[in-house]
Structure 1
C-alpha cells in the first residue's frame, strides 16, 4: 500500500514520513497527476454555465493531494536527498511540467475562466475573490493560453527543458560542495582558529575515519575557516575551491547549463510577447519594470560605493601591516573580523557561548508570543523525515476559559547533513486554506545549516547565524499566520519582491539591546552577555554595510543583466559576462579561476530569476516598517496587530496597499539609507 495515495492517518494529517519509501514517489506522482487531470476535466467540461464557484474556486481547490506530495518530495530533495531521490526528481519534473502545461493550455478550461473574467461585474465578489479571479486569468495568459497551437507546443517543451536543467544545476552545485574536503594533519596550519571550531573540524575528520582535521565547503565549516585561519595560502586554496564550484569543465560544470537556461527563458518571454524574461517576471512584481529595478539598484550603488571604498581602505591598512600589498577577496573575512574586533571588541567565537541554539530558538518563539500571541509547544507524536528534526505545535495563547486554537505545525531542521543543500530556507508541507467552513492550518518548515552539538558542547551560533534563524523564522511567521480562503493566495504566496519583508523585518530585533538581554546568556554559567558587549553588537549593526550592499547589488545587477541582455551572453563566456557586468561593484581583483554564476542557485535553480534585487527592495520595506515600531515601541501591541494583518493577508491584496494600510504611507528609501549609513 502506498502511503502517499492514502488519507494521512496522522496527527493534523501531517506527512507520514516513517511510512514513505523512495519507491513510493514515482507511482504516487503518476496516479495523482491522473486524478488531478480528471478534476481539471470535470471543471473544464462542466455542462453548467461557468461561474466563479464552479470554475475559479473549483480550480483553486483542485489537486490538493498532488500539491502535498510534491511539497514532501521536493522539500526532501533539498533537505534529505540521496541518489535515488535525485534520480526520481529527474523523472518527475517533466511529468509535472507537462501536467502544468496541459492545465494552462486547456482551451475549454480557459474559455470558462475567460467568460467569468469578462463577466465579473455580474458577480458580487469580495476583495479576495476578485484577486483570485484576476490572478487565475493572468496566470493562464502568462502561461500561453492566448497562443496558437504551434507556440503552445513550443512553450510546453521550453517549460519542461527548464525544469530539468534547473534541477541539474542544483544537483551539480550540491555534488561539487560534497565532493571537496581539505584534510589537515598539522595543527600549526590552523593557527588562529578557535578551539571550538577545531573540535568541529576534528569531529568531521573522525566521521571520515581520518586523523587530524577536515574542512569542507559546507557553510558552518568554510566560513569560520576563511574568517580565522592565519595561513593565507590555505585561505586562498579553500576560497578558490569554493569559487570554482561547477566551474571546472568537469561533469558537474554549469557554464553551458547557464547559457541554455537563459536562452530558454528568453525564448519563453518572446513567445509570450515580452522583450525579455525580466519584463515577463517584473510585470507581476512591485517594481513593475527592468528600468525601475536598474534605477533602484544604481541609486543605491551610487550612495553606497564611497562608504564601501572607505571600509576596504581600512582593511587594506590592516593587511599592509601584515606585509600584504595587494589584498584579495579571500583576505576580506579575515581582516574584516580583525577590524570588527578592534572597533567593537566583538569576536564571534567569544560571543558564541552566549548564543546557544536552544535559547535563541526560545527567544524567537518568545518574540512571536509577545507580538502575535503565539505559543510553541514541542511535540513528539508527529513523524519526522530525520531524527534531528524537531516538531512544534503552534497555538494561540489561552483564552479566559483555558482553551486555545491550533495555529500551525512547525518543523525545525537545524544541522548540516550530506543530503542537505547549503544555506537556510523556509518552506511548507501544507498550505493554509478555508474550505467547507474549515480553516485548514498550515504545516511550515524552517531548514538551516548550523554547527552540530558535539559530545562536549551544545550547538552554539555565531551572531550572523542568530540573524539567519530570525530571518527564516520571519518567513515562517508569514506562513504560520496565514488566514486566507484560497491556498494559492495564502502565506508567502505574494509578489516576490514583497516576500522578504517579514524575514528581514524580524532580523532587526537581534540588534535591540532590551531584547538581546533576554536570551544572550552563557550556556555554562547562565551569565547575561555584558551590557557593553550588547551595546557593541547594536553599534556594529552597520559594520561593513557598504561592502555588503555592493555585494548584494552585484548579485542583483548580474541577475537583472542575465535576464535582459541575453545577446551579450551569446558573445561572451559566462566568466566574461559576469566580470563585465559586476565590475562597478567589485572591490577586489577578480580571479580567472573562479565564477560566482556557476553556483548562483538562487536564480538558476530557485525562484529568484530576475528577482534577486528583491532582497534590497525588501530592505527598504523592512527598514521603514521597523522605524515605525522604533518610533512607537518595538513591542507596541497596536502596531503589532496591524502588522499581523499584513502577514495574515498573504496575496489577497496588492502589496503596496497592504503596506500602506499597515504604515499609513508608502515606504521611503531614506529609511534604509539612514539605517545603513546614518
Structure 2
C-alpha cells in the first residue's frame, strides 16, 4: 500500500524533497530490496515521519470503521496496515545495529520516542481494542481456520499485554513507561558501543610476542588504519579478546585485554551504563505491577514456553549445580599448570590461556594450528552444503544487490528445483561502528497475505584479516556462524500466511531452538573433512579432527557457569519487587555471584554493565531461553543420531515442515512435539555438555 497524498502535508518543495528520498515510493531495485546505494542518513527521519503518519491514519480508519467488526475488516486489516513503516524500519534498524555511525545514532535517538508513541497510540486505542475484544469473545462462532484463530488470539494477547484492558490512568502511565524505556534502551546501546570503542587496546611488539600470525597481522593492520603504525590494536570485542586471552603468553597484556573487554559500560566516564540499568529495572517493576504481575519476570514468562520464573530457574539450577562441580575440577587443573609458571593466584585473564594448555596436553590440540584449517570461506561452504543436504536448498551469490557497508555479501537461496526462496545478507566482519555480538534480523518476512518473499540478515564480529590473507576462525565462531544461519533459515522458510505470525516471531524460549539445533552439524566429521582445509587445500589431519571432536566437552564447566550465571542474574534481577534508592548494579552483581559460588576466575559471560541482551535487545528475564532451547536442540539432534544418519532426509523434511516452516501459527510446544513426538528433558542437554 502506498502513502496516500492526504497523509503528505507541506509545500511543493517539500514534495520535491520527498520524491528525491529513495526510501519513499516504489523501490526500483532487484527483488525490491532496500536501495542502500542511494540512502543517506538524512533520508531516514523524513521517511519515518511519513510512514508513521500513514500507519496512524490506517489504524484510525480501522478503529473508526462504522461497520461491525469482522476478522477481515479488523484483524486482517491490521495486518495490512503500517506496511510502509515496516519497510522503512527494517531497512534502518538493519543499519542502526551494524553501522552505528554518529549520523545513524542521531536518527535512532530521534525516532525511538516517535515509534514508542505510535505503538502506545495503537495498542492502547480503546476503539481498536474493543473491536479486537469483541471478535475474541465470540471467536468460536467465527468459522476461522487454524491460522486465523491463532492470529486473533495472538493479536488480542498483544493488546492485553500492552495494557489495553487497564484503566485510563494506568494506560497513560504504561504509555509513558514504554516511551521512557525505549529511550533508555537506545541510550544503553549507544553508551556501550562508545565505551567499547574507547576501550581499544594498543599493544607493543613485546606484548604480542608468541601470538599466532593471523592475530598479530590483523592487529597490526588495524593499528595502522587507526594511525598507530608499529603497534597492535585489539578492540574490546569478544572476537578479538577471547582468541588473545587463549593464546597470549604475556600475562600483563592478557590483563589489559581482559579488563578492556570486561569493564565495557563499567568505567568512570560518561559511558557508564549504571543509571540506565537502574532506571530500566525500576520501570519494568512498575509496569509489571500495573499489569497485575508479581514481577517483570512473571509478566514476561507468562507468554513463554516456561510459563513461570520457577520453571526457568529449575532448569537453570539443574544444570548449574553439576556445572559448578566440573568448573572447580577444571580450576584445579589450571592452578596446577599455572603453578609451574610461578602463578599462585590464578585470575580471570589466566583461565583461557591455561585451559588451552590443558586441552593441548590432554587432546594433543593446538588452537593456532586448528584455526589454520578453519578459514571463514570454507566454513561458509560447509554451512551451505549442510543446508543443501538437509533441505535441498542452494546458495548463489548475488553481486547486483546494493548493500549498506563494505564487506556485506548477498546470496539468493533457492529450492532444489531452482525456485527462489529469498535473499540472505551476510555481514560477518567486525567494524568500529558495529554493536557487539552476533544476531539475525529480517528486512522482509515471507507471507502469503502480501505475497512477499524473505530477506534476512546475519551479523557477526569476526576480526577482519590483514589484506591478502584468509580470515581464520575458531570452532566457537564457526558454531556461531551456523547458529545465526539457523535463525536465518527459520526466517526464510516460514509458510505463514500472515506477516505477524511469520518466521522468528515466536516465544523467546523457542526461537533459539531452530538456530541451536543447526549448530550441531558444524561438528559432523563429514562436513569438517570436506571443508576444514589449510591454505594449501589440505584437509584437517585425521588425528587433529578426532582430537577436536573429542575435546568438544572440554572446559564445559567454565563455559556453562559463564552462561548460566548471566541467565540466573537476569532472572533474579527481574524478580525484584523494588529497588533501594542506592541500588548499584555492579555491587548487586558481585553479591549475587558470591552467593552462587561462581569462581572469581570464571565470572559471567555478560556482565550487567554490558548485558545488551537484557537492556537493549528484548531478552529481559529471557536469557534463560538459550538453556531452555538447548534442552530441545540436544534432544532434537539425538533424533537424527537415532536414525543412524544425521542427514536423514525424512527427518530433515519433518524438521523443516514442523519447525522451520510454521512460524507462530501454533503453540511452540505443539511444533516441538510434532517433530520429536514428545517434550524433552534436561538429560540430553547435560550429555551434550559432558556434564552427565
> Aligning the two structures, in what range does the TM-score lie when normalised by the shorter sequence?
over 0.9
Contact 2:282/2:578, CA 8 A, preserved across alignment: no
- Which of 636, 661, 671 is equivalent to 2:648? 636
TM-score of the aligned structures, taking structure 2 as reference length: 0.94
Partner Cα separation in structure 2 for residue 365 and residue 615 of structure 1: 24
- Whether 1:366 and 2:378 are equivalent positions in the alignment is no
**In structure 1, what is the equivalent of residue 426 of structure 2?**
412
Residue of structure 1 aligned with 2:394, choices 369, 375, 380: 375
Q: CA 1:283 to 1:546, structure 2 compared with 1: closer, same or farther past 3 Å?
A: same
State which of 286, 290, 300 in structure 2 corresponds to 1:267.
286
Give 1:425's match in structure 2, choosing from 436, 439, 454: 439
Q: Shift in Å at residue 675 of structure 1?
A: 2.2
Aligned to 1:457: 469
Render the CA deviation track for 1:315-344: whole Å, top value 9, x for unaligned: 111111111112111111111111111111
User: C-alpha separation between the residues in 1 aligned to 2:339 and 2:151?
Assistant: 60
Q: How does 1:4-403 map to 2 (within 5 A)?
A: 4-185=23-204, 187-210=205-228, 211-398=230-417
Q: CA deviation at 1:479?
A: 0.7
Q: After superposition, where does 1:408-557 map in structure 2 within 5 Å?
A: 408-435=422-449, 438=451, 440-522=452-534, 524-557=535-568
Give 1:557 deviation, angstroms: 0.7
| DSSP 3-state at the match of 2:249 | coil
Question: Where do 5+ consecutive residues of structure 1 fail to align?
Answer: 399-403
8 Å CA contact 1:183, 1:212 repeated in 2 = yes
Judge conservation of contact 2:394–2:413 (CA < 8 Å) in 1: yes
Distance 2:57 2:594 in 1: 53
* Uncovered stretches (5+) of structure 2, i.e. residues with no partner: 1-19
What CA distance in whole angstroms lies between the structure 1 residues aligned with 2:194 and 2:431? 13
Q: Give the whole-Å Cα distance in 2 for the aligned partners of 1:200 and 1:373.
A: 37
8 Å CA contact 1:259–1:569 kept in 2: the answer is: no
Aligned to 1:567, what secondary structure does the other structure show? coil
SS at 1:154's partner residue?
A: helix
Alpha-carbon deviation of 1:181?
A: 2.4
Cα distance between partner residues in 1 of 2:626 and 2:581: 28
- 3-state SS of the aligned residue for 1:76? helix
Q: Is the Cα–Cα contact under 8 Å of residues 407 and 481 in structure 1 kept in the other structure? A: yes
How many angstroms does 1:230 deviate by? 1.4
Matched residue count: 668
Question: Which has the higher mean CA deviation after the structures are superposed, 110-119 or 562-571?
Answer: 562-571
8 Å contact from structure 2 (residues 199, 261) kept in 1: no
Q: CA RMSD in A?
A: 1.6
Q: Distance in 2 between matches of 1:369 and 1:237?
A: 44
Moved more, 583-592 or 378-387: 583-592
> Tell me, what secondary structure is at the counterpart of 1:542?
coil
Q: What is residue 401 of structure 1 aligned with on the other side?
A: none
Query: 2:110 aligns to what SS in structure 1?
Result: helix
| 1:601-636 deviation line (CA, Å, top 9, x unaligned) | 110110110000011111100000000001111000
Q: Distance in 1 between matches of 2:601 and 2:383?
A: 39
Residue aligned with 2:227, SS: coil
Q: Is the 8 A contact 1:550 1:585 kept in 2?
A: no
SS at match of 2:586: helix
Deviation at 1:276, TM superposition (A): 1.0
Question: Match for residue 8 of structure 2?
Answer: none
Normalised TM-score (structure 1): 0.96
Aligned partner of 1:558 in structure 2 is 569
Task: Report the alpha carbon displacement of residue 413 of structure 1 after superposing the two structures with TM.
Answer: 0.8
State whether structure 2 residue 614 is matched by structure 1 residue 603.
yes
Distance (Å, rounded) in 2 between the aligned partners of 1:416 and 1:40: 40
Deviation, 1:128, is 1.2
> Which residue is 2:671 aligned to?
658
Runs of 4+ in 1 over 6 A off after TM superposition: none
Q: Distance in 2 between matches of 1:387 and 1:11?
A: 19
